[in-house]
Amino acid sequence: ETGVTQSPTHLIKTRGQQVTLRCSSQSGHNTVSWYQQALGQGPQFIFQYYREEENGRGNFPPRFSGLQFPNYSSELNVNALELDDSALYLCASSLRGPETQYFGPGTRLLVL
Amino acid sequence: TQLLEQSPQFLSIQEGENLTVYCNSSSVFSSLQWYRQEPGEGPVLLVTVVTGGEVKKLKRLTFQFGDARKDSSLHITAAQPGDTGLYLCAGARNFNKFYFGSGTKLNVKP
């Protein structure tokens, strides 16, 4: 059984650019959630995907968007990057129903 | 403002001491999870509690979910340096939204 993986591990972008982060869910999991964790803070829920459809969203603007693919892997896209988008981006996979999530190691994004 | 408030924010203790971390909210959650996070890594799930009043034990760690499902506590007995890390609680609402506390940074000195 493989765990949750994310790519890339680190990324540097400039303000105004766009970024795509990727997540492979744990084998057998059909739900992926994305979180933003600023330094010294707890993760903030961005959105969740279940069977390729958005299934819940936190308080993030529309420039944060996502996709889930038939194999349940997922992408997080952020347009028009701002300095405050610098953070650790985490994805977590789970089975719909049991509220147990398993996290990947995260992607550290720095916006200059 | 955080939906879940954790206290204390920081805790520095000697090896062998006991400690309790609290996670409080005015909202009801369908379940609550506790995680531990090391620097630069994703949170690792420790436990999920679902039933009000539920108590779960994991070796030296004891987790309790409040009767009203609004709060939780984590108690560590005889802390060890390997327990050092950021402890996060997270509450689930409507099965598809998760809210994290801001975390408790624990440092256990040998």
What per-residue confidence (pLDDT) applies to B31? 87
Give the burial class of B42: count Cβ atoms within 10 A of its Cβ; 0-12 exposed, 13-18 middle, 19 or more buried: buried
Phi, psi for A26 (deg, rounded to 5):
-65, 145
Question: Measured between CB atoms, which of B48, B100, B102 is closest to A100?
Answer: B48
Closest CA to A47 of A70, A69, A65: A65
Please indicate if any CB of chain B lies within 8 Å of the CB of A32: no
| Comparison of pLDDT for A94 and B7, the residue scoring more | B7
Find the CB nearest B101 among A33, A42, A58.
Answer: A42
Instruction: State mean pLDDT over B8-29.
Output: 95
Nearest-CA distance from A79 to chain B in Å?
A: 23
Query: Is there a contact between B95 and A99 if contact means CB atoms under 8 Å apart?
Result: yes
Closest CA to B49 of B30, B24, B23, B36: B30
Q: Nearest by CB to A105, from B2, B41, B94: name it.
A: B41
For chain B, the domain total comes to 1
Pairwise CB contact (< 8 Å): A42 & B2: yes
Task: Give one DSSP letter per residue of A78-96, joined into a string.
Answer: E-S--GGG-EEEEEEEE-S
Terminal Cα distance for chain A, rounded: 38
- Residues of chain A short of pLDDT 70, as ranges, are 1-2, 97-99
What distance in Å separates residue A56's CA from the closest CA in chain B?
6
Per-residue buried b or exposed e for A18-45, using 16+ beta carbons within 10 Å of the residue's own CB? ebebbbbbbeebbbbbbbbbeeeebbbb
pLDDT-based confidence at residue B1 (cuts at 50, 70, 90): low
User: Contact A80/A54 with Cβ under 8 angstroms?
Assistant: no
pLDDT tens for each residue of B28-83: 988 899 999 998 889 999 999 989 999 999 999 999 999 999 999 999 999 999 99
CATH number, position B104: 2.60.40.10
Q: 């799930």: which residue's tokens?
A: B45
Q: pLDDT at position B13, please?
A: 96
* Chain A nearest-CA residue for B31: A99
Task: Compare CB distances from B96 to A56, A92, A106 and report the shortest one's residue.
Answer: A56
Eight-class DSSP state of B83: G
Measured in angstroms, the CA of B33 and the nearest CA of chain A are apart by 8
**Residue of A4, A33, A101 to mutate, interface with B, max B Cβ within 10 Å:** A101
Torsion of CA B75, B79, B81, B85, to 10 degrees: 10
Residue-level pLDDT at B95: 65
Q: Which residue of A has its CA nearest to B30?
A: A99
- Residue A68: the pLDDT is 95
A14-A72-A6-B81 Cα dihedral, nearest 10 degrees: 130
- The range of the structural domain enclosing residue B43 comes to 5-109
Q: Hey, what are A37's tokens? A: 């964790």
pLDDT of res. B100? 92
Please name the residue of chain B whose CA is at the shortest distance from the CA of residue A101: B45
Contacts of B91 (CB under 8 A, 6+ apart): B3, B4, B23, B25, B27, B29, B31, B32, B33, B98, B99
